[in-house]
Structure 1
Amino acid sequence: MTAYRCPQDGTLAETTALTWCCPVCRGPWDLDFEITGTLSPGSLAGRVNSLWRYEEVLPLAAPATTLGEGRTPLVPLTGTVSAKLDFLMPTLSFKDRGAVMLAELARRLNPDRVVADSSGNAGTAVAAYCARAGLPCTVYVPEGTSPGKTEQIRAHGARLETVPGGREATALAARAAADTPGTFYASHVFNPYFLHGTKTYVYELWEDLGGSLPDAIAVPVGNGTLLLGAALATAELLAQGLIERRPALLAVQAEAVSPLATAFRAGADDLPADESPAPTTPTAPTLAEGIAIPRPPRARQILAAVRASGGTFLTVPEERIRGAQLDLAARGLHVETTGAVCWAAVGDWTEGSVVVPLCGAGLKTGLAAPH
């Protein structure tokens, strides 16, 4: 039995409903479902060469919306650091891992409309997979979103709504639209199907490394969807006896917008209560626009996941983000600025093996201009 469950108060809801959040606390859902079998590296031979090869651990199967997403290359950068090239996904970012799950779920529920909010990459991914599924889609983005991303959203046939202010104002506008009857909210934050898509990133690492994982996994963290997916996967692999220990999760934020790193270092379990009026102004400027999230709804879960893994938070200044992007380009890897933050944080890492995701293609934002 698969069901939505609120991690705060235990409220349950059917996944066939269009209820996008817990009706009691308005928080995001988790997903209760049973893994149907145990994986082994040998059992994967001959399977489809996409993330859907891990069907035993996914809440959906036999998708009609797939674009062949997943199975991205893993390449060494140094003796201890390797990079997973998730910018080679169909829409040029790792968000395809979760967006295909949301679009496939929406296709089966057949809503009147789909809405999403994004700083760019999630919006482009949802737009593409909704086009694949034949679903009408509206994507809300903050003003100042990279033109390459907004052009991509429009190219996939989605309606684009530009919201004055920052990322928080955009999320509020999308959530208001999501409350309209007949609307499926393809939220990469509130809907846990997205996290069960992003967890395939770690299953691919496990397969490519011969049934093991690196000592640490570094991930950029804004809303934390890749980190929480990684935490899900490592917990599942450990429970199935497929790994002996969980790797440390290294959560990376830009210094300019680092609310979770601040809370982690203060020993807090959550972000402080927000007593300000509804936000209408942008966050502090940062090259890492994709993780410029001042109040992620899953903050408590993110902090707990990093601590449970024995990991930590790392922050990087703007000049290091730009330098890391240029350095990667000199190595043949042109990624967007948000995708360079983990390399900026762990490029000289010597404490065992670590993998960084290169999350989005450089064509989406271009090279960062010097400050």
Structure 2
Amino acid sequence: MSSYYCPDCATRTPVESASWCCPDCRGPWDLEFAAAPVDLKSLSGRVNSMWRYEEALPLRAPAVSLGEGRTPLVPLTETVSVKLDFLMPTLSFKDRGAVLLAELARRLAPRRVIADSSGNAGTAIAAYCARAGLDCTVYVPEATSAKKVEQIRAHGAHLELVPGDREATAEAARAAADVPGTFYASHVYNPYFLHGTKTYVYELWEDLGGTLPEAIVVPVGNGTLLLGAAIGIGELHAHGLIAERPALIAVQAETVSPLAAAFHAGAEDLLDDNAPPRPTLAEGIAIPRPARARQILRAVRESGGTFLTVTEDQIRAAQLDLAARGLFVESTGVACWAAAGGWTDRAAVVPLCGAGLKTGVAPGPGPHSVQ
């Protein structure tokens, strides 16, 4: 296995230590791992899952795979295509990272696995821990969508409903993570998750014949898909497999947009006077203080991208608009489509991250097109 290292204070520790954060600054880990180049011509005969890019992944030959990855890329307009990442085993893109965390946990053999989530990551961790035969506890806010709670329980995980917001849930899980014999399957703190989500970009690269679009648009809360995309883009560029890096267009709900506020203020980290969060239909990205804020802001700036925000009415309209096009997506997953006016001047790909059955139809006005 590789080693963890802290990007802020350069502390290092073996992955086998199962340390979930830097012991000096309590920040999230990065991973000392050098991906090998993937030969595009070699892919046609490989397994039809994200594990076809095995040279680029820090773990190989997983015992817990459910066939995740290789989701369809569908054109919706002349310039915009959508990647149907809700067609995953647990109906969200979080399977890309969860399978690596569960496989890592299986190899480390802890007494129990814990995770915290607004719903989708917890569902994915629960499913893959069930596959691996691992005892799993998932912490979620008490206001989490009923269907997501039901799905977590269906996979046999212990469920902890935490009063308060997403941050209170994370604090409860982090306290439990310090108990000996525990593996904290954190999609925020553990970098293996990001090396799973980077396969989103490898799939785009393959499907587009060895190229990437001008812009990759992603919804951002904790930034796990955006940072994974940045890792994947960096690897492809470093290996000479793409000539140009696409711009990363990050989308937040207007009511919970700390990263957008910091970005447009020119700050390198979250603002001290950050506005308190308000309720949003996009529960999956309602993160008031993302732990990897500095990395997210840096990745967007270095890509030449930007941050956009969307209103609750735009989210409602976008969900209905996509449904009218044949795609029923959860309210968080439509945020990027809701921001369509901000990036349709260039060829772009949008992830549809979670199935509409997870949250149902958002209440509000009737359907109208966002294009």
Query: What TM-score, normalized by structure 2, do the two folds share?
Result: 0.96
Displacement of 1:2: 1.3
How many angstroms does 1:352 deviate by? 1.7
1:345 pairs with one of 334, 339, 360: 339
Deviation (angstroms), 1:272? 3.0
Is the Cα contact below 8 Å between 1:138 and 1:160 reproduced in 2? yes
Q: Which runs of 5+ in 2 are unaligned?
A: 366-371
1:239-288 Cα shifts (integer Å, max 9, x gaps): 00000010000000000000000000000000135899xxxxx9410010
The residue type equivalent to 1:170 in the other structure is T
The answer to whether structure 1 residue 300 and structure 2 residue 299 are counterparts is: no
SS at match of 1:233: helix
- Residue of structure 2 equivalent to 1:369: 363
8 Å CA contact 1:82–1:356 kept in 2: the answer is yes
1:129 is matched with 128
State the Cα distance separating 1:317 from its structure 2 match. Answer: 0.5
1:319-359 CA-partner distances (Å, limit 9, x unpaired): 00000000000011000000000001126743220000000
**1:59 matched residue in structure 2:** 58
Match of 2:320 in 1: 326
Q: Deviations over 1:23-45 (max 9, x none)?
A: 0000000001122x321221112
Query: CA RMSD of the aligned region, Å?
Result: 1.4
Matched letter for residue 29 of structure 1? W
Contact 2:261 2:271 in 1 (8 A): no
Match of 2:24 in 1: 24
In structure 2, the partner of 1:217 is: 216
DSSP-derived class of the 2:101 partner:
helix
Determine if contact 1:250/1:314 at 8 Å carries over to the other structure.
Answer: yes
Q: Is the 8 A contact 2:114 2:183 kept in 1?
A: yes
Q: Could you tell me how far apart the structure 2 residues matched to 1:171 and 1:353 are?
A: 36
Instruction: Give yes or no for the alignment of 1:197 onto 2:191.
Output: no
Matched, 1:262 2:261: yes
Secondary structure (helix, strand or coil) at the match of 1:111 reads coil
Measure, in 1, the Cα distance between the counterparts of 2:310 and 2:91: 24
Partner of 1:2: 2
The correspondence of residues 1-371 of structure 1 with structure 2, limited to 5 A, is 2-35=2-35, 37-273=36-272, 283-346=277-340, 349-370=343-364
Aligned mates of 1:231, 1:82 — CA distance in 2? 19
Distance in 2 separating the partners of 1:220 and 1:24: 31
Aligned identity (percent) is 75
Corresponding letter in the other structure for 1:323: A
Gap regions ≥5 residues in structure 1: 277-281
Kindly provide the amino acid, as one letter, of the partner of residue 362 in structure 2. Answer: A
Residue 370 of structure 1: how far off its partner (Å): 1.1
| Separation of aligned partners in 1, 2:14 and 2:273 | 30
Whether the 8 Å CA contact 1:128–1:153 is kept in 2: the answer is yes
CA offset digits 1:142-169 (Å, max 9, x no partner): 0110000000000000000000000000
Structure 2: distance between partners of 1:18 and 1:367 = 40
User: Quick one: which amino acid aligns to residue 31 of structure 2?
Assistant: L
User: Contact 1:254/1:286 (CA < 8 Å) preserved in 2?
Assistant: yes
TM-score, structure 1 normalization: 0.96
- Confirm or deny: 8 A CA contact 1:80 1:349 kept in the other structure: no
- Inter-CA distance 334–196: structure 2 relative to 1 (3 Å threshold): same
Q: Secondary structure at the match of 2:339?
A: helix
Partners of 1:342 and 1:19 lie apart in 2 by: 34
Q: Distance in 2 between matches of 1:291 and 1:352?
A: 25
Shift in Å at residue 9 of structure 1? 0.5
> CA–CA distance in 1 between the matches of 2:235 and 2:247?
15
8 A Cα contact 1:166 1:283, kept in partner:
no
Letter in 1 for 2:3: A
1:213 deviates by 0.2
Q: C-alpha distance in 1, partners of 2:26/2:155? A: 31
Q: Which amino acid aligns with 2:290?
A: P
Task: Provide the rounded CA distance (Å) in 2 between the counterparts of 1:166 and 1:329.
Answer: 29
Task: Give the length in aligned residue pairs.
Answer: 365
Distance in 1 (alpha carbons) for counterparts of 2:364 and 2:340: 22
Is contact 1:218-1:342 (8 Å) kept?
yes
